[in-house]
Structure 1
């Protein structure tokens, strides 16, 4: 498909063009630039504004689905460690505590620790967990899982810093506020004119209609909307690690797919039906200013509505209060995010034509896996 507008403008040429400046697009740009490629990133907005900045900034390895999702997360975690140092992105927290207050959660912890994905993790009690998260309620911790693998960054700051690093240190060319109208082998037609690129990677996030809509329709994609909150504690509190609760054991597939999780999920369905119906599971991370990022929920629709019912936030906060004992707090911010979702796959890579790939993470784990996926895609295109 050719677009007449812009044909009279000079055509720039690159080795690799990336469509989309979210974390997945930036990961592909980084993988290509490290291999000496001349790279351009095209983004229709003035800055990344979607799922990549509307999340916890929590790079999660432990609990990811067994198989290549977990493997990609392990590789991405190593790259994050390298990049945070080079791009001066502060790591605000390291590690994860999963607090288990239900009896049925304990066999899940033990089974996970006994498997290969439990490497480096260990079971701890309330005293050790509270040394890392002093606000933990004693009754909320029959036992806990500690993982050393996770890191947490501030997404709204980390993504711009990563883009700046790619531009300044690796020579990646960014074209902001540039809409890509059509793609074919070796060419992109954009609102800023025609661009030549030997290889093209399209990372559209949850936009399934702007490019290759016919190809994407076959994947039965939908969107997931989630609620997030930022809480301001009345008194200073320190979270050395990120925190999850039993709800995460029933949702994250690295735990929930274990046979030992069946009784736990049955109890969660019975006793926490509203949380399960709204896809609520607790994650708490802490920002540099001491505020707490808390979430989240999951609602699915082809076009999610933009509204954030207070009742859903209340479910999240009820779980927060069941696990943590703070003297007081207030809500400083609320927001919603959306991301691409698919029932039977956590990611997709489609080859619509020679030299072109469409890459989408469809399980809300883009920040945790993007750098592994980027390396895989670029290696396949170049090698």
Structure 2
């Protein structure tokens, strides 16, 4: 009996809610930069994991974590330079109006706290989200994550920008109108809108990049109804889209609240809420927030090291440059294969929507799964997104370089050839 099969059998203790990637799961034992290695010593090019934003097992990040853990690890009720230094350096990457930060352990905690602030500051409960959104694992956030389950009765769902057709200005207007109508429905039900919560790259919906003004239009729409705009930057933040540190900056708009997570710690659990001081000052007068591990001294040291590494690799420009090569490769495949319906993305976040000709649309999910599993066998890791999981999702560490793009595009072409796609 193989080691993997034994491990799969033992995994029953984790319960059925857990899921594994790939028909033949990868037993990962180590990682380095953009590579993962399995128990048999085979390497895989990681074009999926956005959490290790500066590469797997980054030595600078691991050293900072170890050094601080050997000194002290405690919470924010004691003074510590690391925590304040990290807060100042993080906020320096944001527009001046976003000048306060509260640390959490996860993006879910960050979104939960952002909604608590919005609820308390507006005196309202209604929330607007997009059709296949995912915002976290708490009960509150599951109620506003239609990709997980039906939303709560105080939540209104609007189509994502991917659902609309026309010029960017026309799409912006349609998305704005959808938010207007959703706010009106909430008002009619007696739960007026307190916030629009959107993932600024619309990742679970299938990726809408570049945004071309749609985020600004959305913010203006919810503010017309007295609601706040919460930008969920867990997926799009930290230079992922290239050119800017945050995806919302593409649209020259300043959110009321921004939430951060996953990439902050390169695998170490950190999250944050970045907010305007007027909101947080008022919230602090009415309530209090303490998180034992949010903003602990080790997490702060890790966060500082991640920021230093992002600056070292010039992440905003690195993602932009390598992203252009990825775009050229993916659009080259799209020109050669009618199976590709759309290529969307910016920086180092890309999606490839599959729309097989002469097949019903539902079969595109089967095709996407075949490509993802074929790539896994070929030593390349990606995932899927969209309401039917029919869209290939590509989001490697930001240390991806031109030679990695070339390896990836070659492997993807091999899959289209082996599946005899046209």
Indicate the TM-score class for this superposition, using the shorter chain for normalisation. under 0.3
More helix by share: 2
More strand by share: 1
